[in-house]
Amino acid sequence: MSGIPEELRWLFWNVDLEAIDLVRNADAILGRVLERGRLDDVRWLVRTFGLERIHAFFFTRAHPEISRRTRAFWRAALGAREERWPEPP
């Protein structure tokens, strides 16, 4: 996995892109892109992390940046309407 592309810099205005590690900071990256990203940003995320990792992101923890609307969309997109996902704080 390479780093975050320059096109996504606008999503990470508050951090040094060179310091972001795609593995170590995966949840922060997923939360930011899934909640605020444009379609092309989400496409990059799916190519980079895969749908299985995105599903695990929602299934294992409730990220504080993720809205109900975004969770509902990904429940439908991932075919996970019946799964119990942790509720955000």
- Mention every residue, 6+ apart, whose C-beta is less than 8 A from residue 7: 40, 41, 44
Which residues lie below 8 Å from residue 73, measured CB to CB, with a gap of 6+? none
The pLDDT tens digits for 70-89 are 999 999 999 999 999 998 77
Question: Which mean pLDDT values do the consecutive 10-residue runs of the chain (89 residues) have?
Answer: 85 90 95 97 97 96 92 95 87
Q: Is-above-0.85 flag for pTM?
A: yes
